[in-house]
Amino acid sequence: MFASRPAVHPLQVEAPAPPPPPADPPADQQQPQEPQPQPQEPQPQQPQPQQPQPQEPAAEQAEPEAEQPQGVENPQGVLMKDLPGMPGTPGALGLRIAQLLFAGISVAVMTSTNDFPSVSAFCFLVAAVILQGLWSFMLAIVDVYALMVKRCLRNRRAVRLFAVGDMITGGLTLAGACAAAAITVLIDNDLDICSDNHCAAFQSSVAMTFMCWFSMAPTCLLNLWSMLRPQ
């Protein structure tokens, strides 16, 4: 008979225990931990000021205002002024020509008579009107030159000279016209001897002298105003 085999029970093997955790090193041997960089927040960009771009000059400004003749330079103290009647303007030239014409007619009519030297007022009238005519002729030449170079005379010394000259010649012309007019009225109305004298010629000469003075008054006033006006 067969012998019975003993029952074999499996061995229960225990799992190995986990190794103990390593001990922490002492505080003096601990290495300092490097701080981790924190992510920086994006800063808003400030708008940069834009530089103004140079504008191209207009075509009209690029063109020269006026072409000057070669060899001619602008004299110092001369500026442009469009006020009519000021020295160097067409209005002033027209007034000077009118003064010269009236003065010439007055002298021609008065000297056409043969008895005017016998009256001192008539002689004074002729002398004053001749002086006025010469002064107007010289200033007319100055105005023509100023118009040729397209400038208006604004120099203070020149304007002062023009104003003083106009006042002197204008005063003499007005005085001679008034004196001759008084003699003419005396001969015509008081003495009633026009038949023996050239009253018509005397009256015409006196009238032309007054017209010469009236045409000279605007230029004198404008020169005086320009002289007293602050620059």
211/125 Cα distance (integer angstroms): 14
Average pLDDT over residues 193-222: 88
pLDDT of 104 over the 80 cut? yes
Q: Are residues 178 and 207 in contact, defined by beta-carbon separation less than 8 angstroms?
A: no
pLDDT computed for residue 70 by the predictor: 53
Q: Are residues 160 and 87 in contact, defined by beta-carbon separation less than 8 angstroms?
A: no
Among 29-33, 57-61, 114-118, 129-133, name the one with the lowest average pLDDT. Answer: 57-61
Among 38-52, 61-75, 183-197, name the one with the lowest average pLDDT. Answer: 61-75
Average pLDDT over residues 141-165: 84
Percent of the chain with pLDDT over 90: 31
Amino acid at position 87, single letter:
P
Position with higher pLDDT, 179 vs 159: 179
pLDDT computed for residue 180 by the predictor: 92
